[in-house]
Amino acid sequence: MVLWASAFVGIRAAAPHFTPGSLALGRLLAGAVTLLIMMVVSRQGLPPRAAWPGIAISGVVWFGVYNVALNWGEELVDAGTAAMLVNIGPAVMALLAGWLLREGFPPRLLAGMAVSFAGTVVVGFSMSGNGQASVLGVVLCLVAAVTYAAGVVAQKPALKHATALQATTFGCVIGAVACLPFAGQLVQDVAKAPLAITLNVVYLGVFPTAIAFTTWAYALARTTAGRMGSTTYVVPAIVVLMSWILLGEVPGWLTLIGGALCLAGVAVSRSRPAVRTAAPATPPAHPDRAVS
């Protein structure tokens, strides 16, 4: 979650120098190279055939379409609006997982997500500028939210057959292939961009993509998609904290309250009902016992 939170800062920094498509391709190429090296070092081969449908779908819609839509959307709307819209994703994920993966709709999960989303709205409102947003930007952020949710739900069954590293590596490779039409623009952007910005794109590929997506897949294989999705609501709170520490952007009280709501909602969604222990049985009465 910390690495994913840092990606929002990195995307905003690269946006003036890279188009949405070239930024997505550059990030995915850096991530794919890193992941393939990790595959060679760990001596893992190709995933089983049963894992490929989920890997392919997540690769196209999550690694590919999501990244392009998010990059483009963040150019057209302010950070607060983008955060609110993209964070519809976990709610969509819970609904899809409950329906397609038969995970059900646990009340605590739904309640916690509602609290977290309210916190996201508060954070987004506090970070918004003049309150105006591009219609196209809003649509792109919604596309990012839906493709993110769909990609996770598609990846979950694949993790029954493939390791987290296999699923992430080949999902990233497929996403990079899907973004190859932006290769020409990527070459032009790299030639013009400052070295520090290009290195920032490499950072996005190595850390928020290769490492963070792999650790996400590892955790996703061990819990439900709905519960994992709810944990992403900590990202707005982490972004606020990182901006405070690294950029000196002191958050207002409204932002802090929203971040606290995000964390509280995650705590609720990840909690489990208390297990009630049965009271010891009371010895039965003996009305027919003789009275002396």
Token pair 């393939």 in the structure block, residue = 36
Q: 124-183 pLDDT, tens per residue?
A: 666 555 555 567 877 888 888 889 889 998 999 999 999 999 999 999 999 999 999 999
Do the Cβ atoms of 247 and 208 come closer than 8 Å? no
State pLDDT tens for residues 42-55.
999 999 999 999 99
Per residue in 233-270, pLDDT tens?
677 667 667 766 765 655 566 666 765 666 566 566 55
- Can you tell me whether residue 102 is helix, strand or coil? coil
Q: What is the rounded CA–CA span in Å between residue 230 and residue 40?
A: 33
Q: How confident is the model over 170-187, as pLDDT tens digits?
A: 999 999 999 999 999 999
Sorted by sequence, the CB contacts under 8 Å of residue 71 that are 6+ apart come out as 11, 15, 18, 20, 21, 23, 24
Q: 122-126, 143-147, 198-202, 281-285: lowest mean pLDDT where?
A: 281-285
The angle subtended at Cα 106 by Cα 100 and Cα 109, nearest 5°, is 100
Residue 93 phi/psi, 5-degree rounding, is -60, -45
- What number of other Cβ atoms are within 10 A of residue 96's Cβ? 21
* pTM beyond 0.75: yes
Tokens representing residue 33 in the block: 């190279």
Distance of alpha carbon 183 from the chain centroid: 26
